[in-house]
Amino acid sequence: MGWFKIPTIFTSYNHTHLPYYNPARQNLVNKSETQKDGAPNKVFRFLRRLMSGGKIDGGSRTEAEEKLYAWLYALAQSDKDLVFEYVRSTERGLSFAEAERRLKENGPNVPIDYSFPSWWHILWNAFFHPFNIILIVLSVISYFTSDSPNGCIMLVLVFISVSLRFYQEYGSSKAAMKLSEFVRCPVKVQRCAGRVYQTELVVQIDQRDVVPGDIVIFEPGDLFPGDVRLLSSKHLVVSQSSLTGESWTTEKTADIREDQSTPLLDLKNICFMGTNVVSGGGAGLVVSTGSKTYMSTMFSNIGKKKPPNDFEDGVRRISYVLVAVMLVVVTVIVVIDYTTSHNLTESILFGISVASALTPQMLPLIVNTSLAKGALAMARDRCIIKSLSAIRDMGSMDILCIDKTGTLTMNRAIMVNHLDSRGLSKEKVLQFAFLNSYFKTDQKYPLDDAILAHVYTNGYRFQPSKWQKIDEIPFDFIRRRVSIIMEREAEDKSRHVFDRVMVTKGALEEVMKVCSSIEDVDSGTNITFTSEHYQRILNMVEEISNEGLRVLGVAIKSLDTETSYQRKDDDETFESDMVFLGLITFFDPPKDSAKQALWRLAEKGVKAKVLTGDSLSLAIRVCKEVGIRTTHVVTGPELELLNQESFHETVKRATVLARLTPTQKLRVVQSLQTVGNHIVGFLGDGVNDSLALDAANVGISVDSAASVAKDFADIILLEKDLNVLIAGVEHGRLTFGNTMKYIKMSVIANLGSVLSILIATVCLKYEPLTPRQLLTQNFLYSVGQIAIPWDKMEEDAVKVPQKWSQKGLPMFILWNGPVCTIFDVSALLFLWFYYKAHGVVDSMFFHSAWFIEGLLMQTLIIHLIRTEKIPFIQDLASWPVLCSTVLISAIGIAIPFTPIGDVMGFVELPLSYFGFLLVLFIGYLFVGQVVKRLYIMVYKRWL
């Protein structure tokens, strides 16, 4: 709807759109296109884009993304000297004047340039719905016809519908503002000053003031203020979890030239906006800021429309059909009535009453009441519903995309095994790994807790009290290991000799790097650590990693009693000539409830697909544990190599998709929606999940998720448990089913009633019901429908996803609508021939009889429509619906016998007429059930 003004990257080849244009950069951006695309390809691409009608295609990148990729890859493949030329900067940095000029030209450095919609714009979109317009017009007419109660009810329904929609859309439009919170921080930049002699200065500015060409200086804890090409780096380790969702860090270095085969987020010399420095430091050249960064391009689809909602589109189409039918039928009725009564005012009022009878007045109230009831039920199941329509979509959902960590797994490590260099279980490895974790004080990690828990729960007695800690070399992200120096009294106590050792534990490669010996398995002696040993351990670890396990290495070193660790700068020297003992393996176990929950979802027709940024081997291990098939798996880099058709086919078959970037998660969701025609739910909790959450039909997050993820989610789980979603699916299908009951029942009843009135108007010389009687009948019938949201659904109806069928409703009406009209006409013929009520003198009798028959017919239709079984015999409605039916029927029958009936022009009816009605309705239920069985035989479904 154009709420978010999100600029694309390099929107034109014209230099007037490039904030820091130069020919070198322009050639970089256009190089790949000039090489690969000739004029015919461009024409075909244009025609294909034109024929697609702007439809979302999950298998292809946008033009802005293609240009961004070309720009960053060109920078990653270029020398540092050439990079300065591309962004028109110098090794000294920008001058203050040039930086100010570029800031004015480019605007503030924020990831998304958004323009907040005015409240009246949102209100107008919420208000402009065909049924709302119809109800308002009819309510005004009701006031003119002195039917104030009916008019007031219509306005209340409009107010409820508009208020709920306005509230939801006004809240969701603010979500994109949260993105700027991730990059608001002070930044150190290098600027040059002076007219004659330029001096380099390091100044601190706000992130919003950073411009392309700035040289930024960063250290641990800093956020990158834009996309940066590294100029220098020292032991630089970066966390890209905000973009990838992976908890692991990645090393970056300036002294490298990348090639085209490296995945974008794996480029070693490029750092991205929104990522942060874990350890190390360096300097980099800002090459893209604001809306031209990778982060902004990634989020450029946020705030745009989701795929069309079949339910809302279906309701809109039905409303247009009813309006068209209303205009035709009402016009015919007014003309016919005028030819007999010659009273134009009375004929118009009667036509308006018929129009009111044709409108499903309770649709907004029934829909919103059903959704609100579902929201309350889900709140009891520890779910917070932000968008009420998501409950209905939950009932239609047939694919659930889920992240692995914390959803399928416990998001905590457990220790699996302790192995020596040959892969055999050895207690000594566990003993020294335990002592390392036990005496470690600098900072405890979950893996340390896992080791301690494994030792305590399995009854090992390593007696740490006999050891004394001497010193500690703490963990850092450069060495990626921690060493503990400790000692104990030797076995020869008479000599008071002490054993002093250093135990090192950490990343396997880093531990093996400082080892010169290895403990021989057979003799127990130390032998030289050869390249054969090194390769054998790597091969073993590769097999272990393929099973989804994490690995830590353990090594020891005997020290002299006098040896101590004093200086922090001799870590590499002190940690050397060690003896490699073995390795410890860990696993993030699946939740006990995950397998059962996925099985129950599959039973209900909801297939699960795992979309994760973690490694493929780890994802496969977890999926096998919880029962997800792993015969078709794929990774993000593999998806990048596929063409559009192959992409869609691969996404359709794959059940596990690993190492996905945020944009790849988005494309997978869009592919399932558009090409696969699925209703997709997505469960995620990170910033990297925001794209997919926004695009999915049902976005689901958890209470502990990032604020942006929660803003874009439709449903918030207070517990990270898939079993909660099963209850949501059931509530969604119940809500969808009851809503469809009302829509089908009301359309059939209203159309049948109006057609009956048309036939009666043609046959009689007077109106079959006066405007006041018709509106009263319609009011009572509408009030009786309020209980529908509290009805129950059959078990078979909630076992499969419920979707709106575009052809289903018209065919349903064609099959079942005539049945209602046939029995209305039967009542007309009975009154005509048995009671001779076809003259003007008998009009009051006819009005009374027709009023009761029409009201009871419309009230009983719900019981025929609501179930596949025989109503009142094989299946009973819920007690609220039964009570509503009895109450409205009793009121309708009683009115002609009360003073109110006298005022409305009714007369008392003979008992024989009620006997006829009993036979009539039994016949209606019998014929209706026969038509129902035939319909089910043909279309294999009912509601």
Q: How confident is the model at residue 403 (pLDDT cuts 50, 70, 90)?
A: confident
Kindly state the tokens that stand for 232. 């220098």
Choose between 55 and 767: higher pLDDT: 767
- Burial readout 207-222 (b: 16 or more C-beta within 10 A, e: otherwise): bbbbbbbbbbbbeeeb
* pLDDT of 41 above 60: no
Question: Residue 862 and residue 875: Cα distance in Å, rounded?
Answer: 13
Question: In the listed set 301, 330, 348, which residue is the last one of a domain according to the structure?
Answer: 301
User: Which segments of 764-842 does DSSP mark as H helices, in order?
Assistant: 771-784, 808-833
Choose between 709 and 68: higher pLDDT: 68
pLDDT at 167: 65
pLDDT at 309: 67
- Helix or strand holding residue 937 (H, E): helix 911-939
**423 and 491 co-located in one domain:** yes
Question: Residue 290 and residue 180: Cα distance in Å, rounded?
Answer: 10
Question: Residue 506 and residue 717: Cα distance in Å, rounded?
Answer: 36
* pLDDT of 160 above 80: no
CATH code at 769? 1.20.1110.10
Q: Mean pLDDT over residues 193-212, rounded?
A: 82
**Residue-by-residue DSSP string for 584-644:** EEEE-PBPHHHHHHHHHHHHTT-EEEEE-SS-HHHHHHHHHHHT---SSEEEHHHHHTS-H
Amino acid identity for residue 867 in this structure: T
Choose between 770 and 790: higher pLDDT: 790
Token pair 């930024």 in the structure block, residue: 216
Residue 37 lies in a domain: no
The catalytic position among 403, 448, 689, 842 is 403
pLDDT at 189: 93
Q: Which residues contact 272 (CB under 8 A, 6 or more apart)?
A: 224, 227, 228, 240, 243, 265, 293, 294, 295
Q: State how far Cα 696 lies from the chain centre.
A: 4
Residue 141 lies in a domain: no
- Helix or strand holding residue 229 (H, E): strand 227-239
pLDDT at 519: 85
Q: How confident is the model at residue 556 (pLDDT cuts 50, 70, 90)?
A: very high
Contact 281, 85 (CB under 8 A): no
Contact 365, 786 (CB under 8 A): yes
**476 and 611 co-located in one domain:** no
CATH code at 425? 3.40.1110.10
Q: How confident is the model at residue 752 (pLDDT cuts 50, 70, 90)?
A: confident
Q: Mean pLDDT over residues 37-58, rounded?
A: 42
Question: In the listed set 522, 554, 587, which residue is the last one of a domain according to the structure?
Answer: 587
Query: Helices 843-865 and 722-763 sit at what angle, rounded to 10 degrees?
Result: 160
Q: How confident is the model at residue 297 (pLDDT cuts 50, 70, 90)?
A: confident
Choose between 650 and 625: higher pLDDT: 650
Percent of the chain predicted with pLDDT > 70:
80
* pLDDT of 163 above 80: no
* pLDDT of 908 above 70: yes
Question: Residue 584 and residue 434: Cα distance in Å, rounded?
Answer: 10
With vertex at residue 809, the alpha carbon angle to CA 807 and CA 813, rounded to the nearest 5 degrees, is 120
Amino acid identity for residue 104 in this structure: K
Choose between 875 and 152: higher pLDDT: 875
**922 and 883 co-located in one domain:** yes
Task: Count the domains in the chain.
Answer: 4
3-state class (DSSP) for residue 409: strand
pLDDT at 36: 41
Residue 338 lies in a domain: no
pLDDT in tens, 793-838: 887 777 888 777 777 778 888 888 888 889 989 999 998 888 887 7
**617 and 514 co-located in one domain:** no
Nearest to 207 by CA among 294, 87, 111: 111
pLDDT at 680: 92
* pLDDT of 186 above 70: yes
3-state class (DSSP) for residue 911: helix
* pLDDT of 55 above 50: no
Average pLDDT across the chain, whole number: 79
* pLDDT of 58 above 60: no
Choose between 862 and 16: higher pLDDT: 862
Q: In whole angstroms, how far apart are CA 228 and each of 449, 459, 478? A: 37, 52, 21
**367 and 396 co-located in one domain:** no
* pLDDT of 326 above 70: yes
Question: Residue 749 and residue 755: Cα distance in Å, rounded?
Answer: 10
* pLDDT of 29 above 50: no
- Burial readout 34-64 (b: 16 or more C-beta within 10 A, e: otherwise): eeeeeeeeeeeeeeeeeeeeeebbbbbeeeb
* pLDDT of 314 above 80: no
Choose between 910 and 686: higher pLDDT: 910
Question: Residue 583 and residue 540: Cα distance in Å, rounded?
Answer: 11
Question: Residue 755 and residue 325: Cα distance in Å, rounded?
Answer: 10
Contact 87, 212 (CB under 8 A): yes
Residue range of the domain that includes 210: 63-115+183-301
Question: Residue 840 and residue 856: Cα distance in Å, rounded?
Answer: 24
Q: Mean pLDDT over residues 474-480, rounded?
A: 75
- Helix or strand holding residue 680 (H, E): strand 680-683
Residue 49 lies in a domain: no
Kindly state the tokens that stand for 214. 């700035």
3-state SS, one letter per residue, for 729-767: HHHHHHHHHHHHHHHHHHHHHHHHHHHHHHHHHHHCCCC
Q: What is the pTM of this model?
A: 0.70
Contact 821, 398 (CB under 8 A): no
pLDDT at 256: 87
Question: Residue 496 and residue 664: Cα distance in Å, rounded?
Answer: 65
The reply to whether 520 belongs to the active site is no
pLDDT at 333: 80
Question: Residue 680 and residue 468: Cα distance in Å, rounded?
Answer: 58
Amino acid identity for residue 517 in this structure: S
Look at 2-16, 383-397, 550-564, 676-690 and tell me which has the smallest mean pLDDT. 2-16
CATH code at 199? 2.70.150.10
Question: In the listed set 718, 747, 764, which residue is the last one of a domain according to the structure?
Answer: 718
User: Is the dihedral angle over the CA atoms 410, 411, 417, 423 positive or is it negative?
Assistant: positive
CATH code at 700? 3.40.50.1000
* pLDDT of 493 above 60: no
End-to-end CA gap in the chain: 33
Residue 30 lies in a domain: no
Q: Which residues contact 660 (CB under 8 A, 6 or more apart)?
A: 611, 612, 613, 635, 636, 639, 668
Residue 2 lies in a domain: no
* pLDDT of 17 above 60: no
Kindly state the tokens that stand for 670. 């869009």
Kindly state the tokens that stand for 712. 């874009």
**450 and 581 co-located in one domain:** yes
User: Is the dihedral angle over the CA atoms 441, 443, 445, 447 positive or is it negative?
Assistant: negative
* pLDDT of 24 above 60: no
pLDDT at 119: 66
3-state class (DSSP) for residue 516: strand
Question: Residue 729 and residue 801: Cα distance in Å, rounded?
Answer: 9
**695 and 812 co-located in one domain:** no
**CB burial class (10 A; 0-12, 13-18, 19+) of residue 887?**
middle
- Counting every residue written for the chain, the total comes to 943
Nearest to 925 by CA among 865, 875, 884: 865
pLDDT in tens, 409-421: 776 788 999 999 8
**108 and 212 co-located in one domain:** yes
Residue 750 lies in a domain: yes
**Residue-by-residue DSSP string for 269-292:** TEE-TT-EEEEEEEEEEEEE-GGG
**402 and 461 co-located in one domain:** no
* pLDDT of 272 above 50: yes
Question: Residue 481 and residue 475: Cα distance in Å, rounded?
Answer: 5
Question: Phi and psi (nearest 5°) for 450?
Answer: -65, -40
Token pair 């740490």 in the structure block, residue: 464
Contact 393, 698 (CB under 8 A): yes
Residue 701 lies in a domain: yes
**523 and 670 co-located in one domain:** no
Amino acid identity for residue 265 in this structure: L
3-state class (DSSP) for residue 502: strand
Contact 430, 418 (CB under 8 A): yes
Q: How confident is the model at residue 432 (pLDDT cuts 50, 70, 90)?
A: very high
* pLDDT of 176 above 50: no
Look at 475-479, 709-713, 929-933 and tell me which has the smallest mean pLDDT. 475-479
**433 and 393 co-located in one domain:** no
Query: Within 10 A of 205 (CB to CB), how many other CB atoms are there?
Result: 19
Question: Phi and psi (nearest 5°) for 6?
Answer: -115, 105
- The residues pairing with 693 across neighbouring beta strands, listed in sequence order, are none
**CB burial class (10 A; 0-12, 13-18, 19+) of residue 759?**
middle
**395 and 365 co-located in one domain:** no
Q: In whole angstroms, how far apart are CA 929 and each of 142, 194, 320? A: 37, 92, 29
**Residue-by-residue DSSP string for 434-494:** HHHHHH--S---HHHHHHHHHHHHTT----GGG-EEEEEE---TTT-EEEEEEEEE-S-GG
3-state class (DSSP) for residue 506: strand
Q: Mean pLDDT over residues 538-545, rounded?
A: 87
Q: Tell me whether strands 633-635 and 607-611 are parallel, antiparallel or unpaired.
A: unpaired
3-state class (DSSP) for residue 551: strand
pLDDT in tens, 647-704: 999 999 999 998 888 888 888 998 998 888 899 999 887 777 878 888 888 988 877 6
Kindly state the tokens that stand for 503. 């135990």
Q: Mean pLDDT over residues 56-73, rounded?
A: 76
3-state class (DSSP) for residue 219: coil
Choose between 485 and 60: higher pLDDT: 485
Look at 33-42, 769-778, 853-862 and tell me which has the smallest mean pLDDT. 33-42
Question: Phi and psi (nearest 5°) for 47?
Answer: -65, -40
DSSP3 helix / strand / coil % (the chain, rounded to 5): 55, 15, 30
